[in-house]
Amino acid sequence: MNLARSRDRQVYLRSHPVLFALLAATRRRPVVRLGRTVLVHGPDAYREVLTRVPLDRTAAGTTGGAAAELTDGGLLFDQEGAEHRAARRDLATALGSEGVARLRPVWQSVLRERLFPGKVVDLVPVVRELAGATAAALTGSSAEPLALALAAFDAASAAARDHLPGLLPHRRDPRAADRLNAMLPDSLDAMLTVAAVNTTVAALPRAAAWCARAGLWPEVSAELAAELLRLTAPSPILPRVAAADATVAGCPIRGGDRLVLVARHAAEGHRAVPADPAFAQQAVFGAGPHACPGAQLARVQLTDFLAALAPYRPVVVRAEVDRRSALPGYASLLVRKG
Ligand code: HEM
């Protein structure tokens, strides 16, 4: 378990070294102010910000701001009130139990075809295809799954470079969002595709690597999948901006302050048993009215992915961290049958 944890921590630290080293160093306090930026680490403070503090959903440098650019006006991440509730209702149906049952054969067929072809397989392109095929089915796009996944990847890394200027290496690609939009029926789909594909491509290989290194293949289950999502926190930080003054964990927050909500720490990924296990497993999907509507799909998809691998007891042959991706993950993860 310790090897699995320390290798996974390297994925997180190496992907965005300056930012994540700063977050690791300040983790022990629930809320830390650095000028006009407030780092929110503690589970209670994280929940409080997401459920109680008014957030500016269109501010530049937030997920909502990036979604607004991507979708030519902005949907979901930056919506409030009735408009947001109506869009959420449609999504809740598309991503609820029936929606998941409808989409499941799409990713199961990718898994059947791609696992396990020969002695060694790179799991990253397999997951890209699985995520691209799922997003295409969800949005009604006829784009080729791998091409769609790569366009979503480029659009997200361009947006992340806008979120965290100077902290991320490589230059931003200004046409990435246009390329993605051209593959999709409407602009809401671009935001949905970015949210679904990049988290999946980050999450599934890290969970498989963890299972391989910790010898967890015989224990694969829905509960293990949910716990691996907690431990890896695929979307580790949520950049937000306060819309009004508030106090969180004793720390005064002013409207306009930049909030860095650390989902990884709110989920207590560093603890084998968190203080509130149910909240910790939810925390990696956010909280409150904007919490991730894809959580159920993500958990079922990860369970299926691990179950498809488990009979081969894969071991990691070589792993390369992706320095270009918006979320910490692998550029390639070669595994062989164990
Ligand atoms: C391991 C996989 C995933 C993780 C860790 C994850 C995590 C998150 C997080 C942390 C948020 C922000 C929540 C908040 O502000 O409170 C979010 C929002 C969102 N996610 Fe996910 N997500 C995952 C998979 C997916 C999938 C598969 C889909 C769609 C099929 C999806 C669609 C969305 C959408 C549409 C939003 C915006 C919701 C809103 O603003 O109302 N996510 N996700």
Question: What are the domain boundaries of the chain?
Answer: 2-336
pLDDT at 175: 85
pLDDT at residue number 304: 98
Determine the Cα–Cα distance for residues 148 and 180; give it in Å rounded to an integer: 7
17-31 burial code (b ≥16 CB/10 A, e <16): eebbebbbebbeebb
Cα separation, 127 vs 219, in Å, equals 21
CB 201 within 8 A of CB 124: yes
Q: Which two tokens stand for residue 152?
A: 């979503």
- For residue 61, the model assigns a pLDDT of 74
For residue 152 and ligand 1, the question of a CB distance below 6 A is answered with: no
Bridge partners for 248 per DSSP = 251
Each residue of 139-152: pLDDT tens digit? 999 999 999 999 99
Superfamily of domain 2-336 in CATH is Cytochrome P450 (1.10.630.10)
Please state, in angstroms and as integers, the Cα–Cα distance from residue 115 to each residue in 103, 118, 197, 228, 337, following that order. 19, 9, 20, 21, 10
pLDDT under 70: residue ranges of the chain: 1, 71-84, 161-172
The alpha carbon of 33 and the centre of ligand 1 are apart by a number of angstroms equal to 26
Tokens, residue 185: 């029926």
Q: Whose CA is nearest to atom 11 of ligand 1?
A: 292
pLDDT at 118: 82
Q: What number of residues does the chain have?
A: 338
pLDDT of residue 165: 47
Ligand 1 within 6 A of CB of 305: no
CA distance 135 to 68: 19
Query: 109: which 2 tokens?
Result: 């067929």
Does the Cβ of 130 fall within 6 Å of ligand 1?
no
Residue 294 CB less than 6 A away from ligand 1: yes
At 49 the pLDDT is: 98
Closest atom of ligand 1 relative to the 287 alpha carbon: 16
